[in-house]
Amino acid sequence: MAQAQSIRPQSQPDTGDTYLLPGETYSSITSVIGDVPLTPPMKTPKGWIFGFAVSVALLMVFLVSVTWLLIRGVGIWGINIPVGWGMDIINFVWWIGIGHAGTLISAILLLLNQGWRNSINRFAEAMTLFAVACAGQYPILHLGRPWLFYWLTPYPNTHGLWPNFRSALDWDVFAISTYATVSLLFWIVGLIPDFATLRDRATNPLVKRIYGVAALGWRGSALHWHRYEMASLLLAGLSTPLVVSVHSTISYDFAISQIPGWQVTVFPPYFVAGAVFAGFAMVLLLMIPVRTFYGFESYITVRHLDVMAKVMLATGMIVVYGYFMEVFGSLYSSSKYEQYLLYNRLHGPSAWAYYGLLFCNAVAIQPLWFRRVRQNIPALMIISTIVSIGMWLERYVIIVISLEREFLPSSWDRYIPTIWDWSLYLGTMGLFFTLTFLFIRVLPMINIFEIRMYLHQETERAHRREAALHGHGHDHGHDHAHGTASAD
């Protein structure tokens, strides 16, 4: 498909037609990307210091919120009976959803042999890890006695008790911890050859030693690469069902319960699509400023933004289908509780959230059908922000609107988030951005060896095309046709 673009020999402006701007060599790729983490501490860009300072300030908000929570308990939040799940679970699902785009980019697009992913996979995987780290805080803090979280795991104990393995909440524990572990392994494996590059380029002996230890003695041997590629391919194959299972499991938290609006069979696929949708919006929101700030326009081209917008549009439309199915489900159910749920969404006290979600997730993404919008950076920033808000509202609608109107009208209540709900949310953003800033400072934020390999594949492709055009085989005497079909 579109990735069959050639590397043109002379310099060309970014017209949004290429995935790698021309004029790049193995050395230029290595030095431009690899030298960012090797910048001496005193030469750290001012913009980075400013961004990091803001993030750490927000991280302090997180620490204050958690400390107060540990002192006073979950009563400081707006949750009540019947709304026992409030912003803690909304934000949990929101964060974990954001993380899923990273796995989609690193695993599914690798299996589909989409070379353009090479430019964004490292960053997206880092985003996955940090988003999962934020998400993981919420269910644990919501436990009431967070220091006893290990009761959720099967361990031999003097009570002689085991966790209830037939509960979706316990499935969650294992799904998310497995997801976090596998994502971390995948990410670190991807970093090993790049650590070797940094080891070989570092001039400061201490820095050289640190990256040298992290590189584990990697020397780029063909024998090693062979096994390495096989391991990466297998990890991608394992991560693909894993990512689908994780958000499906999260949707089971709702779908296997009996609350109106939760007991919907469309939930697992609808949650997975929503996760990817929100995740791509976040990748765009993060990548656009970073690529401008560090001058990575050659590697993350307008073309990349264009395809990411397309994925966002496609998954957004799946989510819209989910909304239709929810409406259909409640009308067709002949259950007065399900039908009332729809009425309550449209006319109840939290109807603003439902209309807001329809606007953000269904209406606001429609301009993405046009190429001009997909390649317009300010427009993408605006749409991605709206989508991020919309996906937050979606979880609000699912969780709060259903719980506010219980089966018994006598137990109906409103959910009003308190300042501590908001401060914890802001605080997890601090955690997320602190980790992101540290990542872009000390690790190569684009996968260097995969970009080199992509350049090689594109060059070969250009040679082949040229040979085909001139009607004679080139003098290599070697058939490269299968070379590009390998794992990235």
Query: Residue numbers of the site for other proteins (CB under 8 A)?
Result: 25-27, 30, 34, 154, 160-162, 164-167, 170-171, 174-175, 178, 181-182, 185-186, 188-189, 193, 196-197, 199-201, 216-231, 234-235, 238-239, 241-242, 245, 249, 252, 449-450, 452-453, 456, 460, 476, 478, 480, 482-483, 486
Residue among 96 and 311 whose Cβ is closer to other proteins: 96
User: Cα angle vertex 150, ends 149, 152, to 5°?
Assistant: 80
Residue among 5 and 30 whose Cβ is closer to other proteins: 30
| Nearest distance, CB of residue 228 and other proteins, angstroms | 6
| Nearest distance, CB of residue 143 and other proteins, angstroms | 19
Residue among 133 and 231 whose Cβ is closer to other proteins: 231
Instruction: Say if CB 444 and CB 122 are below 8 A apart.
Output: yes
Residue among 252 and 396 whose Cβ is closer to other proteins: 252
User: Tell me, what DSSP letter sits at residue 397?
Assistant: I
User: Tell me, what DSSP letter sits at residue 400?
Assistant: I
What does the alpha-carbon distance between residue 90 and residue 254 come to, in Å, rounded to a whole number?
A: 12
| Nearest distance, CB of residue 201 and other proteins, angstroms | 7
Structural tokens at position 141: 């803090």
Residue among 75 and 217 whose Cβ is closer to other proteins: 217
| Nearest distance, CB of residue 413 and other proteins, angstroms | 26
User: Tell me, what DSSP letter sits at residue 148?
Assistant: G
One-letter amino acid of 459: T
| Nearest distance, CB of residue 353 and other proteins, angstroms | 30
Residue among 190 and 427 whose Cβ is closer to other proteins: 190
| Nearest distance, CB of residue 63 and other proteins, angstroms | 31
Instruction: Say if CB 189 and CB 180 are below 8 A apart.
Output: no
Burial 129-163 (b: 16+ CB within 10 A, else e): bbbbbbbbbbbebbeeeeeeeeebeeeeeeeeeee
- Count CB atoms within 10 A of the CB of residue 166: 8
Residue among 7 and 79 whose Cβ is closer to other proteins: 7
Residues with Cβ within 8 Å of residue 464, at least 6 apart in sequence: 474, 480, 481
Find the largest Cα–Cα distance for the chain. Answer: 84
- Tally of residues, the chain: 488
From residue 6, alpha-carbon distances to 20, 100, 411, 458 in Å are 9, 31, 65, 6
Residue among 46 and 219 whose Cβ is closer to other proteins: 219
| Nearest distance, CB of residue 330 and other proteins, angstroms | 25
What does the alpha-carbon distance between residue 486 and residue 488 come to, in Å, rounded to a whole number?
A: 6
What does the alpha-carbon distance between residue 206 and residue 443 come to, in Å, rounded to a whole number?
A: 16
| Nearest distance, CB of residue 483 and other proteins, angstroms | 5
| Nearest distance, CB of residue 33 and other proteins, angstroms | 11
End-to-end CA distance of the chain: 16
| Nearest distance, CB of residue 383 and other proteins, angstroms | 34
User: Tell me, what DSSP letter sits at residue 83?
Assistant: -
Burial 36-67 (b: 16+ CB within 10 A, else e): bbbeeeeeeeeebeebbeebeebbebbeebbe
Residue among 147 and 165 whose Cβ is closer to other proteins: 165
Residue among 299 and 415 whose Cβ is closer to other proteins: 299
Instruction: Say if CB 219 and CB 142 are below 8 A apart.
Output: no
| Nearest distance, CB of residue 237 and other proteins, angstroms | 9
What does the alpha-carbon distance between residue 308 and residue 293 come to, in Å, rounded to a whole number?
A: 20
Residue among 248 and 384 whose Cβ is closer to other proteins: 248
